[in-house]
Structure 1
Amino acid sequence: MVAISVYDDPKTEVYVHTLGTNCWRRIQEFPYGVPIGDESGKFVGGALNWVVRENPKKLFVVSLDLENESYQEILQPDYGEVKLIGLTLGEYRDCLCIFAHSSKLIVDVWIMKEYGKKDSWNKLFTIPHIEDLGRPTVNFSPCITVAFIYEDEQVLLVSRDIFEPKLVVYDSRSDTFKISKFENIKGRDPTIYIESLITTC
């Protein structure tokens, strides 16, 4: 397990806990600023991966190799003329994904077919902007986040409308949206549950 404490400096303290032991060990802090938001690192390629902000305009993708406890920058795809307002990470078919949120309120979905190799980035599809998904939150944060990509390339989205958040399924093949009927999710971030034989107790 990995825990990160972020201070105002900005400064990070990173701790690693190995199952079967009774202690946390402190390791080197992040070399590229601080991780963004409250999202957990995405585990791909034997490493945890985060989006890290060094300054208001500079975003990195940083990985922590859990075997040798070392960091490296994961080079991002060439976004072309797209003006980014944010990045989030995901995992699809055991590959690292980048969700590139643009100023046009669309999301380009990129997949890294060979972990750690910049030239293996491939754009899967673009999620268009839909007015029904609501308004962006404060500080021009992306108005949607990608919670999960299914094997048939349908995408579970969470709108960030501060007044009426929604769960939405986008079908990339038919380019259609389906807004769920779940209610009372305001203030809650949906989490994907995967059954496991491993217990934390």
Structure 2
Amino acid sequence: MDICPIKNQCQSNPPFTPVLIPDELIVEILSFLSVKTIARFKCVNKSWNTLISNPTFTEMHLKKSSQNPHFILTSTRNHPVKHVVSLPVHCLLENVSVTIAGDTCHNSKEESWQVVGSCNGLLCLLFDSIFGIHTKYFFCLWNPATRTMSDELGLFLDYESLLGPFKFSFGCDYLTGTYKVVALNTESNEEKETETEGLWRSKVRVFSLGDFCWREIQSFPLVPLIGNDGVHLSGTVNWLAIHGDYVGLSDGETVQASIPHVQQFVIASLDLSTETYNRLLLPKDFNEVPCVEPSLRVLMDCLCFSHDFKRTEFVIWLMKEFGVQESWTQLFRFEYVNLQMQNIPIKDDWDLLGYMTCDTPLLPLYLSKNGDTLILTNDKDKRVIIYNRRDKRVERIGISNKISWFSAIDYIESLVSTHWKSGDIEEEGDEEGDEEEEEEAHSL
């Protein structure tokens, strides 16, 4: 029987048909990636570079990135700030072992600076130096994720005899998308309009990245507590403050501080769109002056108010509807012993303005979406405290002796640009420039 030869059955592969992925799907996929990875993909081709550089994509990525919050940590009070640490919150919640390294603002000529706020992935860095007998201020906007930095902005000289240094805050007018820096200080309230106003008032200046100039806006007869900086939330800057006459003058020379009444504690809220103020009331059950300063934070996109109670308990409130006193909800009330804290150092000293001069024992930093896990910090302990409400488990995590958890700022990575340029800052040593600086400062 004849056997037919076997024919070669191998056939050539069918021609490759490229799969076309819609641009909308590419955008969606890229928006979930980290800034570092996205920056690499900009080199794929011109089309991807254009797509990633589009402001619409920047906004989409920002919304996705907000689901992965970070903390920005800086040096302790005894060390100058030369770099920051960006730490993902999930690393703490999941007890993930990470290598912490500080990042430097590479474009800065200054040796040290202060982070005064974070918004949409931008850090506002404040620089100050002695200029003759005055203080020279300016700031820069830095995006640690993209490692880009703006020019020096907002230069002004403090010529006035005000009490204490300026307080700076950073936020965004969400109606126009304009970023603003707020400078606040305290001065004598010689033009009291009502008898209920105090002897001091807060003087406020606003620098807008829309018109690039400082403007003095209406002052308000409230004095922010010395340990509380402005808290940015939904286009507003909020300070915990005291109103009314709580400081008296004796013999025309000696200033005697008096402890304020609990009803004098309020929240001063500045709307960055209208640049007008509102006075927000604290919880009705806050009926006793604490022996240490209360604090304001933002938790779960709501204003958070926390305070000590009789040196034994710590209380945390959440304003679920901004501006509505009845929406204050008590989230936590626990004894310090539940956090394994003992011998809390608390003083009862008051300074010349009636400020409580001791440190707040605890500061809430983050609350999980289910409300069970709370991250706090204790300035004396130099570590972060993770408290689980369900099983009352307490964990403590530290980074280094030169990093302060008490300076932690909420932060999210973003692609937001730092393209702003001043164009009107004269170099130091230029006599004409110095004269212009003085005229500008006097005009403020």
TM range (shorter): 0.7 to 0.9
How many Å separate the matches in 1 of 2:294 and 2:286? 15
Report the AA paired with residue 135 of structure 1.
I
Greater strand percent: which structure?
A: 1
Q: 1:4 aligns with which of 183, 189, 195?
A: 183
Residues 199 and 156 of structure 1, relative CA distance in 2, 3 Å threshold: farther
Is the Cα contact below 8 Å between 1:136 and 1:160 reproduced in 2?
no
Residue number in structure 2 paired with 1:48 = 237
Give the distance between the partners of 1:45 and 1:192, measured in 2 at CA. 14
Counterpart amino acid of residue 48 in structure 1? V
Match of 1:156 in 2: 375
Q: Tell me what 2:410 maps to.
A: 192
Shift of 1:147: 2.2
> Residue in 1 aligned with 2:279?
73
Instruction: Say yes or no: does 1:173 pair with 2:400.
Output: no
CA distance in 2, matches of 1:2, 1:168: 31
Q: Distance in 2 between matches of 1:19 and 1:151?
A: 34
How big is the shift at 1:168? 1.1
Structure-2 change in CA distance of 1:196 and 1:31 (3 Å): farther
Q: Shift of residue 97 of structure 1?
A: 1.4
Give the secondary structure class of the aligned counterpart of 2:326.
Answer: helix
Q: Which moved more, 1:69-78 or 1:91-100?
A: 91-100
TM-score (norm 1): 0.82
- Equivalent runs, 1:1-201 vs 2, <5 Å: 1-7=180-186, 9=188, 10-32=200-222, 34-37=223-226, 39-54=228-243, 55=246, 56-57=259-260, 58-79=264-285, 84-85=290-291, 86-130=293-337, 131-132=340-341, 135-136=344-345, 138=347, 139=349, 140-153=358-371, 154-161=373-380, 164-185=381-402, 189-201=407-419
Structure in which a larger fraction of residues adopt helix = 2
Deviation at 1:123, TM superposition (A): 0.9
Query: Do the aligned residues in 2 keep the contact of 1:41 with 1:49 (CA within 8 Å)?
Result: yes
- Look up the equivalent residue of 1:19 and give its one-letter code: L
* Change in CA separation of 1:103 and 1:2 when aligned onto 2, cut-off 3 Å: farther
Instruction: Please give the alpha-carbon distance, in whole angstroms, between the structure 2 residues aligned to 1:94 and 1:146.
Output: 14
**Residue 27 of structure 1: CA displacement?**
0.7
2:312 & 2:187 partners in 1: Cα distance? 30
Supply the distance in 1 between the matched residues of 2:408 and 2:233 (Cα, whole angstroms).
21
Higher relative contact order (CA 8 A, sep 6+): 2
Structure 2: gaps of 5 or more residues: 1-179, 189-199, 247-258, 350-357, 420-444
- Structure 1 or 2, whichever has the larger Rg, is 2
Partner Cα separation in structure 2 for residue 80 and residue 59 of structure 1: 10
* Paired-residue identity, %: 26
SS of residue matched to 1:191: strand
Q: Indicate conservation of the 8 Å contact 2:299/2:365, yes or no.
A: no
Q: How far apart in 1 are the matches of 2:342 and 2:379?
A: 8
Runs (5+) with no aligned partner, structure 1: none
Question: CA–CA distance in 1 between the matches of 2:235 and 2:410?
Answer: 20
Q: CA deviation at 1:159?
A: 0.7
Contact preservation (8 Å) 2:374, 2:386: yes
Contact 2:204/2:219 (8 A) holds in 1 = yes
